[in-house]
Amino acid sequence: MSSIAISVSSLNEKIKAILEATFINTLVEGEVASVTYHTSGHLYFSIKDNKSTLKCVMFRSNASKLKFKIEKGERIIVDGNVGVYTPRGEYQFYASRVEPFGKGSLAIAYEQLKKRLEDKGYFDKIYKKEIPKNITKMALVTAKNSAALFDMIKIIEKRWAGVEVVIIDSLVQGQKAPVQIINALIYADKINADVIVLARGGGSVEDLSAFNDEQMADTIFNLKTPIVSAIGHEIDVVISDFVADLRAPTPSASIEMILPDKNDMLYLLDDLQIRYSQTIQRVIAHKSKELQSFTKELQRYSSSNQLTLMQNEFEALKNEYKRVMNSKITIYNSSIPQIKNSFKNSISFIISTQEQNLNLVQSSLKLVNPELKYKNGWAEISKNGKVITLKDIEKGEEFLLQDKERSINVVRI
């Protein structure tokens, strides 16, 4: 986009120049939507179709030559130029000639031929060949000294001058024109062109009748090379328009439709260059960040850095060990008196307990000591190795009686 803004007037002037240079001697057909005969002698009217309306004006010099009165609802054909009223930014059609619309013998023949070819499938989309996007060679079938050829060459040089152009001269009007056009098309199909353009400027129905020929329609349908039909003005529709792979409203428009605009391509290249540069810069910036990150990671995991980290960790662990040990020593030193007292108390308790146990053991030993077991005058009674009492002995039963010095067998009487 240009960074320099232009004024509204400048823009309107540019539009005016383009429209008035492009739409010269243009034929337009439509239904009269409104009409006003001004007291000045000028005629103001508008024509329409099912989609659009066009304002028209016919100045007194031309309006005075009209042989009929224009009325609302009437279908007419208007010949003239497109003009722009720059103060209001409005365009309108300046009519130089107006004729009523009607069908003659040529129109009837045209409709009959169109019906036959349509029934044969000549107009079906499935048979339409695609126009190449990259055209390096094109054939122009037209009259070599015609305005249509001049206009096409001018636009070719403006839009895409590098394309190879082969001009195949042919009559485009009269009785001999269909045969010459057919031969020119056959020749054009043999030169390995990327596309063929069949062109002729505007004219009357009689002037364009050469392009409503059935044999020429057969030739167009059987071509191997894609073909564009660019006959007359936009309102002119001929049989070749239906049979061709692409229909252009005018010869000039055909070139604009099939060739790229070098300025558009330059803008596209500039845009692509800018976007490519921006993309490269983004990639470089991203890769630079990645490189910085990798460098930091490399430094982080390098042997010298790892050794430094390990030394730092070792020093930290050593200091922590000293701190913990000093803390524990401090705690233990403060606990020693308490532990000492506790140890003394525990020892005293153990000794006291053990002395008590010793006394008990000594008492028990005295009880089981054989030397202390028997007192003077006392003896132990046993039977079958088991100590018993006198009440356990029956009469006549034998038992053992012993003291600390001797033993005897005794029988109870």
Task: Supply the DSSP string of 223-239, one letter for each residue.
Answer: -SS-EEEEESSTT---H
Torsion over CA: 347, 350, 356, 359 (sign): negative
Choose among 223, 158, 171, 151: nearest CA to 194: 223
In 101-206, the DSSP E strands lie at 137-142, 164-169, 195-200
Write down the pTM of the prediction: 0.46
Average pLDDT over residues 145-173: 93
How far is the CA of 291 from the CAs of 276, 303, 305, in angstroms?
22, 20, 19
- Report DSSP state, residue 215: H
373 pLDDT above the threshold of 60: no
CATH class of segment(s) 8-102: mainly beta
75 pLDDT above the threshold of 70: yes
User: Where does the pLDDT of residue 104 fall: very low under 50, low under 70, confident under 90, or very high at 90 and above?
Assistant: very low
What is the architecture, at CATH level 2, of domain 106-260?
Answer: 3-Layer(aba) Sandwich (3.40)
> Could you tell me if 258 and 195 are in contact, meaning their C-beta atoms sit under 8 angstroms apart?
yes
pLDDT of residue 375: 61
- Per-residue pLDDT tens for 316-325? 888 887 888 8
pLDDT of residue 289: 86
pLDDT of residue 371: 59
**CA angle in degrees (0–180, nearest 5) for 42-45-48:** 160
Average pLDDT over residues 400-409: 78
340 pLDDT above the threshold of 80: no
pLDDT of residue 105: 42
> Could you tell me if 95 and 56 are in contact, meaning their C-beta atoms sit under 8 angstroms apart?
yes
Average pLDDT over residues 154-168: 92
Q: What percent of the chain has pLDDT over 70?
A: 92
148 pLDDT above the threshold of 80: yes
pLDDT: which is higher, 111 or 52: 52
User: Where does the pLDDT of residue 141 fall: very low under 50, low under 70, confident under 90, or very high at 90 and above?
Assistant: very high
User: Where does the pLDDT of residue 211 fall: very low under 50, low under 70, confident under 90, or very high at 90 and above?
Assistant: very high
User: Where does the pLDDT of residue 391 fall: very low under 50, low under 70, confident under 90, or very high at 90 and above?
Assistant: confident
pLDDT of residue 367: 60
State the Cα–Cα distance between residues 249 and 259, nearest whole angstrom.
15
Least confident of 102-111, 112-121, 348-357: 102-111
User: Where does the pLDDT of residue 370 fall: very low under 50, low under 70, confident under 90, or very high at 90 and above?
Assistant: low
